[in-house]
A and B are shown apart, each in its own frame.
Chain A
Amino acid sequence: MNDRLDTIVRDALVAEAQRVTADDLELLPVVNAPATRRPAAWMVAATLLAMASIGVSAALAYRDRPSRVATTGSTTTTSPGSPGGVSAFAEVVGMPEVEAEAGTLTLAPASVSHPWLTHSVELTNRGSVSVFVSQSQRSVMLGDPPSLVVGTQYCGYTGDGAQRPIQAGACLAIGRRAREIEPGGTMRFQLTLWRDLAGLAPLGDGPYIFELPLDFRRGTSFDALDPQHLPADVGHATLRVAYTHELPLVTFRGEEIPYFTLRVPASWADRDEPGRDSRVGGDGFVSVTLANAESLDEATRLQTEHVLHPYGGDPEIRVSRLGQLPARLVFPSADAPKDRGFQVAGTRSVK
C-alpha cells in the first residue's frame, strides 16, 4: 500500500516541481561580512569606489566585540523572538514514545558565570504507559574550535580563560531521581548557553549538537544516584538539541545613492549623513558615497593616497570582482591609523 501511495505522492511532487527552475536565478556575490568570520584585529572595512566619471563607493566595517566575557544581552545579533539569532530543535533518540520540544530561547538571568541564553526542554510521553526518566547532568563545549558551552541546571564551566582555560563539565553533585511522565504528561528541565567566554572562538552558524544521556524505565520508578547501580532493565536514550545561529541581515538599499544593495546586520541603524547612505551598529558600519575618477585604479589611488593615509603608508591592493563587476580591495598596512579603524577598502566599477 505504501508503494502505491509513494507513487501517487512522488508523481504529484515531480509535476509540481516542474513549475520552477533556477533559470531566472543569478549567482551574485554581495558584500557580506559577519563579524564572527572576520580575522581583523578589531575593525575591518571595505570600500567600493567608482570608475569613469561617476560611481558609487561604500565602506563596510566590522569591529570585534569590545568585551571578551559576555554579559547577558551583550550580543549584537539579537532578533525579535530569538535572542542572539539562535534557534533550537530537540529530539529524543532511543525512547520512541517520548517526544522532545525545545522551548523559546530567552536571555539568561545575570549571574557570575555570565550565561547568555536559556531555554526549556519539554519531554512528552505519547505512549500508554508511564515512563520514569532520569536526566543526567552535563555541560559541554561545542564547536571546533569550541565556541559555545551548553549545560543543564547546576552545570557550567570552570576557568577564567586567562590563568586557567575554560573547561566545561563542572557540575554540582546532585542526586538523580527518576521522574514520572504519565501518558500524555510532560517533564521539563532547563538548558543554559554561554558564548564569548574568554578563549572561546566566535560563534558560527552551527549547527551545534548538544547530547544529554537519559535513563528510563517503563512502568516503575528507579533511583539513579549512581549510574553504576542502575537496575538492569533501565533503558538508555539520548536527548539531542541542535542549535543553529544566524546573524539576522537585512537589505540596505541606497536612497541618497541609488542602484546598490548591501546586506547588513538588522541591528544597524540608519545614520543621516548628507550625500551618503550609512548604517551604523555597535560592531561596525557601512557608508556609501559617490566618487569621480577616470578609472577604477584611479579611484583606488585617490582613496589610498589621500593625504590622511587612511589605509596606512603601504596598503595592499588586490584585483578582484564584486558581483559581475571588476573591483579592487585595499588592505591597510600596519601603520594605518587606529582611529580610522584599520579600514580595508575596495573599489568597484559601476556604469
Chain B
Amino acid sequence: MGELDGRVACVTGGTRGIGRAIAEAFLEEGAQVVINGRSPEKGEQALSEVGAGENLHFISGDVTDQAVCESLVDQTVEHFGKIDIMVNNAGGGGDAAPLVDMSDEIWNFVLNWNLNHPMWCMRRALKYMIPQEWGRIINISSMYGKTVIPTNSHYVTTKHGLNGLTKVVAHEVGAMGITVNALCPGGILTDVMNSDGRVAAEALGMEFQEFLDMMAAPSAIKRLNEVEDVSLVAVLLASDAGAGISGSLINVDGGQVPY
C-alpha cells in the first residue's frame, strides 16, 4: 500500500535531478506520473532507466513557453484521466551577472522559467483540482527564495516571487481540499547546478568547487543537500497526511536559512 495509491502527478523538469527523484519517489508510493522535459531523448532515457512501465509517461516541452505548460497539464489529464499533484520543479539561472549588466534576454528567460511556468501550470491544474476538491501543488523554490546570492538577481527575485505566489494561492484554495506549498532546497549538485552554477561561480570570480563550498558552509550539515532530501518532503506534502500543511515555504537546506 503506497501513500499515493491512485494519484496522478505531473512533474516539470522531471527527467533528471530533483524532478526525477520526486517522480521516482511518487512511483514508489503508488502514483502514476507524467514527467516533462525539453529533450525527448532524455525523456526516453529516463523512462527506460526508471522502468516503471505504464505508470510513468513522458511529455516533452519547454516550460518557458506558456502554451507548453497549459498543454502539459491537459495532456496529463488526457493520458491518466485526472491530475492530483502538480510539481513545478523546472527552473534555473544562467548568464549570472551584476544587475547593471543583466541582459533583458536572460532576465525574461529566467522569469518565465522560475515564476511564470509555475503560475501557468498551477492556474491550469487548478481548473481540474477545484472541481474534484482535492489537489496538491508543490513548487520547487530554493533557499534563494529567502536569502541572497550576488550576480543572481534573476534567480533570487523569481524564487522570492514564487514563494509569494505560493502563499497567495494557498489562501485562495485552502478550503477546497487543495494545498499549495514551496520547498526551499539548499545547494544540490544537479545537472542544472553543474551548468548554471559554473556560470555563477565564474561571475563571482571563483572556482566551481569554491562556489559549492560557499553554498554548503553556512549550513549546519556542512555539505550540499541531495535530491532525495527534497523528494522525501514532497511525498509527505502530496500524501493525504499532508492535508494540513499549506502555504508553507519549507526549508530543505541542512539548516542554512534560519527563518
Q: Do A and B come from one complex?
A: no
Binding site for B on A (CB under 8 A): none
